Every structure is written in structure tokens, then in C-alpha cells.
Amino acid sequence: MSTVSAHSPAQLPVSDMAESLIGSEIIKLAGEINEKIRNGETVYNLTIGDFNPKIFPIPQELKQAIVDAYSADETNYPAADGMVELRKAVSNLISQRQGLNYAADEILIAGGARPVIYAIFRTLINPGDKILFPVPSWNNNHYTHLSTGSYAQQICIETTPANKFMPTAAELAPHIGNAALLALCSPLNPTGTTFTQKDLTDICDLVIAENKKRAAENRKPLYVMYDQIYWALTFGTTRHYDPVSLREEMRPYTIFVDGISKSLAATGVRVGWAMGPKAIIDKMKSILSHVGAWAPKAEQMATARYLGNLPQYDAFLDKIRGEVLTRLNGFHEGFQRLKAAGHPVDSIAPEAAIYLTIQLHLHGKKTPEGQVLATTREVTRYVLDQAKMAVVPFNAFGASADSSWYRLSVGTCRAEDVTVIINSLEAALSRLS
């Protein structure tokens, strides 16, 4: 006779953190999209912050360097903080192309940007600390929860289209005195927009003043996590700004998040890095050494070799920026044409990254079947069903549940599909009353 456990698997207790962790809204949407595809439907999937490698392959030279590294048996453990060859290459890259001066021992290599972000939160945040971040933004809420579980206190500042969904010092100022970490991102995921020099300088001055006050009171400083993973994908006259270049006084308080995932269309290669004060980088190294979140040694050696040739790197960036911008401009122009024709849609001109901020202001509209689109979820479903266009609502990035704004990602989109998608959307919009 078999023995039955007193608890079924569904009843087995887990940690409070795991029990209360919220699943990704994007993954839920992806499930709906994949179900339609399995059923043979055509879906233009503009939801994922990734690249289709058949459309946007990684640089051929990087691919060959990875193959060569494996052929050279670079398959054992890498150094805990990353191979020195790569840390030196990153140091040179950011010095030559961004004007930032960080030594190799102030740089930490990891398996993409995600472990770096996790390590920043775990290094700087205590239970009960408050984490301040704007919304919409990518995953700050989840990293807060992973770091301190139910003890975390999030301060979310909802931004507005008037400022391209970028936070301002005035919006942050009332909350800055209570925060332990300020999480910023530019170019921003999900919007594809960027800080102006003035707006970021104002925020830096706010942080500097706060930290002078805390130093006088012998309190832990306010730190800034600055995610610039998309900085190399800026378009036209758009310039990328960072806290340390604008205000040298920000250096002791700023930890950068960066890597090759987006600039080289190398999301699956998993090479990311952090830059910051050595004492903090060393603690992050200790955390990630226990997690084992290294980038594979072969990929590290190959990336070091690739970044050693900056003209080659620049040429690839020129190419991918041109291809991404063609798609973003195509969608932006299409949305502006639909807006001019009287449809309740809008878009913000692209500045960077692989995203376009679009508005589908369809709440209250009625379908031919008589259904009133009362919620953002119903609007999203209608556009998916009728226009075959899948996009992610900003409420998946922490914005209000009734927000009518969306992220449109072009990393898996063929240039010739842009007009087809806009025409399909136009037909779906025309059926509403």
C-alpha cells in the first residue's frame, strides 16, 4: 500500500517571497499570443524586448569569435568578477565612446544585465528600505520583491506623456528623503525615450543635495541604479546622458547597468556588466559568485576580442540603428497618419532603443458585435484579435490599470510588415463606433 503525504504538492508551504511573487504580465500575454499562433492564426508579435536573429543577427565577427573561443577550450569557470580581458575591453569602450573612466576592478561582468540588477538590489537594500522608481519601467517592482520580499517598500512615481514618460526632479523630490535606492533607466524600457540633459542634471543635483544632508546626519546615502543598456541605440540628434558625466559628485553613489544584449542584438549571448564604486562592485561580485551568475567564459573572451576593434563595433551599430529606426519611423508615421484621419491613437517620436510608445485610446468604443471596450485588457484583446497586432500595455510596466499607452517593439519585425500592420490596425479601428 502506498503512503499518501499529509500535504498535496499544491499545499506544500513555500517562502512568503515566493508565494507573493507576481508573475510577469508580459508572459501572460505571450501565452495568449502563442495559443493563437498554434491555432494557425497570423499574429504580428510586437511585444517582446528581443531580436529575431534571422532578422537581426549578432555581428558575424562576434559569432566567429565565440566559435573560436570554444574551439580553444575556453570552457572552464571564468573569474568571479569576469575575465580581465573583457573588463579591460569594457573599460576602454566606455572611456572612448562615453567618456566614462572606470578601471577594470570597478567593473563586474555577469550573465546579462538581470543578475547585475539583482546584485545591486541585494547589495544596497535592507528590509524596510524604500526603493523609488518611475513607472512605466521594467521589472523594478519584481526586483524589489526578490530582494526583500514583503518587507520591501516601493515608491512608484507615475510619469506622463507630456515629458515622454521620463521622470522629473519635481516628481521625485517629495519622496527622495525616504528612499534608499533610486532606480533610473535611459533610454527607457518600455518607452524608447531618453532623459534631456537638464532633466537628468536636475535629478543629479537633487541626489547630491540629499546626500550632503545625509552625510551631516551620518546616514546611509541615497544610491542611484542607472540602467543604460540601450545607450548605444540612440537615433539622430538624440544624445545619451549619464549622472557621472554630468556631475562628478554622483560617482560615489551611481552604479551603472550595461552590456551587449541590446546594442549587438545579443540577448541570448548573456554578457552584461556593472560599473561603480569598487567597494560596491566587490560586494556584488561576492553575491554573484555564490549565485554562479557568470557569463560563459567563451562568450566573455569572444566579446573582449570583438570590443577590441571599436571601428568594427561602430560599423555594426550604424547598421543596426538604421534598420531599427526605419521600422520605428514607419510605425510612428503610420500612427500619426491614423491620428490625422481621426482615429483615437497617437505615438511619441522614437529617440532610442527598439521601442515605440503608442496610444490606443479605445476605452468606451463599441465593437460591431456590440461589446463596449471598457478596460485596457479588452482593448488589448480587440487589437490582437481584429488587427492581429500584439503590443504590451503600460500597466504591465506598473502604470495605472486604465492607461491607454503601450509599448511596441520592433526587434522581431520585418521592414515590409510595417505597412501591413498599420493597414490591419486601420481596418480594425474603422469597425469601432
The CATH class of 60-310 is: alpha beta
Nearest to 165 by CA among 353, 19, 344: 353
Q: What are phi and psi of 27, to 5 degrees?
A: -65, -40
Residues 184-238 pLDDT 10s: 999 999 999 999 999 999 999 999 999 999 999 999 999 999 999 999 999 999 9
pLDDT at 148: 67
pLDDT at 29: 78
pLDDT at 1: 44
- Rg, the chain, Cα only: 23
For residues 23-41, one letter each, b for 16 or more C-beta atoms within 10 angstroms of the residue's C-beta and e for the rest, the string is: eeebeebbebbeebeeeee
Could you write out the DSSP letters of every residue in 333-376?
HHHHHHHHTT-SEEE----BTTEEEEEE--TT-B-TTS-B--SH
pLDDT at 152: 62
User: Do residues 310 and 300 make contact, with C-beta atoms less than 8 angstroms apart?
Assistant: no
User: Do residues 94 and 102 make contact, with C-beta atoms less than 8 angstroms apart?
Assistant: yes
pLDDT-flagged residues of the chain (< 50): 1-6
What homologous superfamily is domain 13-56+315-430 in, according to CATH?
Aspartate Aminotransferase, domain 1 (3.90.1150.10)
Every domain range in the chain assigned CATH 3.40.640.10: 60-310
d(CA 396, CA 139): 9
The C-alpha cell 570552457 sits at 75
pLDDT at 385: 94
Residues 6 or more apart in contact with residue 170 via CB below 8 angstroms: none
Residue 408 Cα distances to 272, 329, 380, angstroms: 24, 12, 12
For residues 64-75, one letter each, b for 16 or more C-beta atoms within 10 angstroms of the residue's C-beta and e for the rest, the string is: ebbeebeeeebe
d(CA 365, CA 363): 6
Every domain range in the chain assigned CATH 3.90.1150.10: 13-56+315-430
| Joined grid coordinates for residue 327 | 521600422
d(CA 253, CA 225): 9
